[in-house]
Amino acid sequence: MGALQQDLKFGLDDFMRWEAEQSERHEYINGEVFAMTGARDGHNTIAGNLFATLRSALRGSPCRAFIADMKLRIDAADAAFYPDVMVTCDTRDKTPDADLAKRHPTLIVEVLSESTAAYDRGLKFEYYRNIDSLKEYLLVEQDRRHADLFRKGKDGLWVLYASGPLDDVVLESVGVRLSMDLLFEDVFIPVAPSPSSI
């Protein structure tokens, strides 16, 4: 998320109309508009790998995967975002009214960067939890082979399932298993210095 656009302050419906005419992407939170910034190679590659895998796996099902250019509108949080990847299986997201923004995702994925990790894990997740249809929220690190999956239980509580370098990520909400090799295909991860070389 980029710098706040100080001169813009309006309602969510106004934002949606305004954003549809913009050449650059913006996110909206409670009357404030934020310009989106570009992403690193690893970020785009991970998001692309995930989108391609989900799109293929969900072919023929009622679910559809979307990548970063599709908006997510959250009326209950007075917010609109561009998740890195999301999946919706809801028929309400297939109507003409949902052409520019989805409202009922089952799965949301964010690829973490140093500048957004705390926000994606904290406040943004708080906004996302306002979505009744959301069952899983996946956070993928781009500088190491690690992912944190939050899954909503039948009791309404969110439980963390962490995946390390050799683990698969199991997305129960859409019936897809992701290997770390597939998720991080073509991603360069710098080798951290060993403690003895510091």
Q: For residue range 113-154, what is the model confidence (pLDDT) as tens digits?
A: 888 899 999 999 999 999 999 999 999 999 999 999 999 999
What band does 197 get if pLDDT is binned at 50, 70 and 90? low
What was the pLDDT predicted at 24? 87
What was the pLDDT predicted at 9? 60
* pTM score, whole prediction: 0.89
Looking at domain 40-187, what is its CATH homologous superfamily?
A: tt1808, chain A (3.90.1570.10)
Q: For residue range 70-93, what is the model confidence (pLDDT) as tens digits?
A: 999 999 999 999 999 999 999 999
Three-state SS for the chain is CCCECCCCCCCHHHHHHHHCCCCCCEEEECCEEEECCCCCHHHHHHHHHHHHHHHHHCCCCCCEEEECCCEEEEHHHCEEECCCEEEECCHHHHCHHHCCEECCEEEEEEEECCCCHHHHHCHHHHHHCCCCCCCEEEEEECCCCCEEEEEECCCCCEEEEEECCCCEEEECCCCEEEEHHHHCCCCCCCCCCCHHHC
